[in-house]
Amino acid sequence: MKKNIHPKYYENAKVTCSCGNTFFVGSTEKEIKIEICSACHPFFTGKQKLVDSAKRIERYQARIDKGKRIAKKAKNNQDKD
Q: What is the CATH number of the domain that holds 2?
A: 4.10.80.400
| Segment among 2-11, 15-24, 46-55, 60-69 with least mean pLDDT | 46-55
8 & 39 share domain: yes
Domain that holds residue 13: 1-47
For residue 13, pLDDT over 90 is answered with yes
Question: pLDDT higher for 45 or 70?
Answer: 70
For residue 18, pLDDT over 80 is answered with yes
Rounded to 5 degrees, φ, ψ at 22 are: -130, 145
For residue 58, pLDDT over 90 is answered with no
For residue 59, pLDDT over 70 is answered with yes
19 & 31 share domain: yes
Model pLDDT, residue 50: 61
d(CA 78, CA 75): 5
Rounded to 5 degrees, φ, ψ at 28 are: -90, -5
Amino acid letter, residue 79: D
Question: pLDDT higher for 51 or 80?
Answer: 80
